[in-house]
Amino acid sequence: MKKNKVITADEAIALIRENDVLTTTGFVQSCIPEALHAALEKRFVDTGSPRGLTLIMTAGAGDSKGLGTGRLHHDGLLSRVIAANFGRMPKVAQAAQANLIRGYNLPQGVISQLYRACAAGQPGLFSKVGLKTYVDPRHGGAKVNELTTEDIVKLVEVDGEEWLFYTATKIDVAFIRATSADPSGNLSFEKEALTLDCLAQAMAARNNGGIVIAQVERIVDDGYLLPKDVRVPGILVDCVVVAEPEMHRMNYGVMYDAALAGEIRVPVTGIKRMALNERKIIARRAAFELPPNGVVNLGVGAPEGISSVANEEKITPYITLTTEAGAVGGVLASGSSFGAATNADCIIDQNQMFDFYDGGGLDMTCLGMAECDGAGNVNTSKFGGKLNGCGGFINISQNARSVVFAGTFTAGGLEIAVQDGQVKIVTEGRARKFVTEVQQNTFSGPYAVERSQPVIYVTERCVFQLTKDGLELIEVAPGIDIERDILAHMDFAPIVRNPVPMDARIFRDEPMDLISDLLNLDLKSRVSLDAERNILFINLEGWYCRVKSDMDELRMTIVEACRKAGQRVNAVINHDGFRLNENLYDDYAGMIQYLQANYYATTTRYATSAFLRLKMEEALTKRGVAPHVFERKEEAQAFLGTTEDKKARKMISPAVASAA
């Protein structure tokens, strides 16, 4: 006879012992087993037991005002916390800062993947995530206070490479949440916005001899759930608790939304346009970095606006937005529903999404920034006297193919006005974000440079780029004075070479036609042939080569023009304002090498940016190609006139043409 596993919340919580290791599910405000948290709080307040628990969790799970894991703040209930986010449980964070409990702030993806290690009986996890940040044992080992002394992060070397080894902590109790359960404890998630790590958490507790308590909305009969709909099998579940509706909200702001649950698809054309303020300026400029047909992650805060801008510019079909919580595609939700998506293509488990992220699956991410210093280091985890936590920031920022940090230039009372396409600072923010040294290093600028990771920093008044020499000012908003509005409000002096104006379209309250940039619709107009002089002019001024497919389209456009010429051409390329992602310089040099070998008689290029000239010369020289990168157009054309080799103007052979 099968056991009926349905019991009350109080009966389930009575099974927790002193000093147990407890893990719980939830993401920000979604999918939180509120009834279980409330019952645990009630038992402790009424009886003073269980004491000394260790809490392990990934993302924050609460409203920052006392709900969710915020209920577990009572003195003596917790003795240790291992979490990616402390901001959602401020009283627990305060206890950690006051040295009342031990604590570790690990990357969200690491904790998520550690559940699987626990389930498999493995001692821990090898990962490069966290190297050169505060998580690295050389910089604190993720400990949040002096009371915490045990090392759970170790620096190791494997085949000459540095890795971090994260020690797995065995789990005694798992709180998970689903929609439906049958009496045997089989769980389905049909009305949940996300599945998170429930399966891995349940397996980790079960295989350690612990208990798994599942909160659900309803009980269904045996045999009702189809096998493929069961996301957590009953063999892993010890207790099922049916929650009251108020304790099983989809999130704290939404009782239930069928579109977020993926049960229906809804029209999204009516999304409200953002007002033209500092948030929209930042989102618009960041949107220029979106890779065509790329996979993108957006952080909370200023980056969320990119989703709205993408919808307004009708480019949503050409990018795939994702969340670390497991949503793929659709329109990312914000506010209390952050982490979920309307009309998502797929929902996968959180640990699987971090596998994808850590392996380099993200083409781009846009994340917030609380502090930034001259080396390009960014702090989002501990600032303003508060322990917020890193969340998934470290996993995402270290492994995305390109990174955009987005936020206002100053904080606390900043007010701007946009008039006639010009930005005016009405009231400056009270707090500086660009500081001498970040309070805590959540992102290492030098480590990104070491790995040739493209990184820019977008604000409402200017844009910086990470270089090997530090932060460089590359763009300035119209109406902004560099000395008065930028340098005067920084604690360090950035590199200032040849900053250009930010795109004027950003500051007009009308659509920007961003789709033309994203899909390179104007490439053909940038390539023209002067047949009489046999000169091919390639105007890449202001063009941005984001991903390799952009380069492929440029190469095909140039080859097509050369074939029409019927002979080798003399190419003059304008690289003024041209941007090339840091990890594409070698590929770009390879394209030039190919064109010179097959289509060019002579070639010369010019760029006012000394940094770009240097990078291109390095990449071309590495491939044995004469660089010929000049500062001015006149110099480039003069060089072309003195080196033109008429003998090289021969017809392109059919073999060469077919090879292209």
Positions marked active-site: 324
Q: Which residues pair with 471 in a beta bridge?
A: 466
- Give, for 284, the enclosing helix (H) or strand (E): helix 278-287
Cα 15 to Cα 660: distance, rounded to the nearest angstrom: 70
CA distance 37 to 22: 11
Q: How far from chain centre, in Å, is Cα 337?
A: 17
SS3 647: helix
At position 544, the amino acid (one-letter code) is Y
* Dihedral (CA of 435, 437, 443, 448) sign: positive
Coil, helix or strand at residue 343: coil
Residue with tokens 């009305």: 191
Q: If DSSP codes are grouped into helix, strand and coil, which group holds residue 28?
A: strand
What percentage of the chain's residues is helix, strand, coil (to nearest 5)?
30, 25, 40
Query: Strand 294-298 relative to strand 470-476: parallel, antiparallel, unpaired?
Result: unpaired
- Compute the C-alpha angle 311/314/317, nearest 5°: 90
Q: For residues 180 and 476, what is the distance between their CA atoms, to the nearest angstrom?
A: 54
CB-neighbour burial class of residue 262 (10 A; exposed 0-12, middle 13-18, buried 19+) = buried
Distance between CA 591 and CA 585 in Å, rounded? 10
Secondary structure of residue 82 in the 3-state scheme: strand
Q: Integer distance in angstroms from the first to the last C-alpha of the chain? A: 71
Query: Cα separations (Å) of 97 from 138, 143, 255, 534?
Result: 21, 11, 34, 71
Q: How far apart are CA 419 and CA 637, in angstroms?
A: 40
Cis (ω within 30 of 0) for the bond into 50?
yes
Sign (positive or negative) of CA dihedral 134, 139, 141, 144: negative
**Longest pairwise C-alpha distance within the chain:** 95
Q: For residue 17, count CB atoms less than 10 angstroms from its CB and return exposed for 0-12, middle for 13-18, buried for 19 or more.
A: middle
Tokens 């440029």 identify what position?
554
60-to-9, 149, 227, 366 alpha-carbon distances in Å: 22, 24, 31, 20
Region for residue 262 given its phi and psi (left: phi exceeds 0; alpha: psi -120 to 50; beta: otherwise): left
Contacts of 626 (CB under 8 A, 6+ apart): 620
* Nearest C-alpha neighbor of 143 from the set 368, 436, 440: 440
- As given in the structure block, the two tokens for residue 323 are 């969340």
3-class DSSP state for residue 299?
coil
Which secondary-structure segment (H or E) carries 47?
Answer: helix 34-47
Strands (E), 91-229: 102-105, 124-127, 153-158, 161-167, 173-177, 180-181, 187-188, 211-216, 218-219
Total residues found in the chain within this entry:
660
Distance CA 594, CA 596 (A): 6
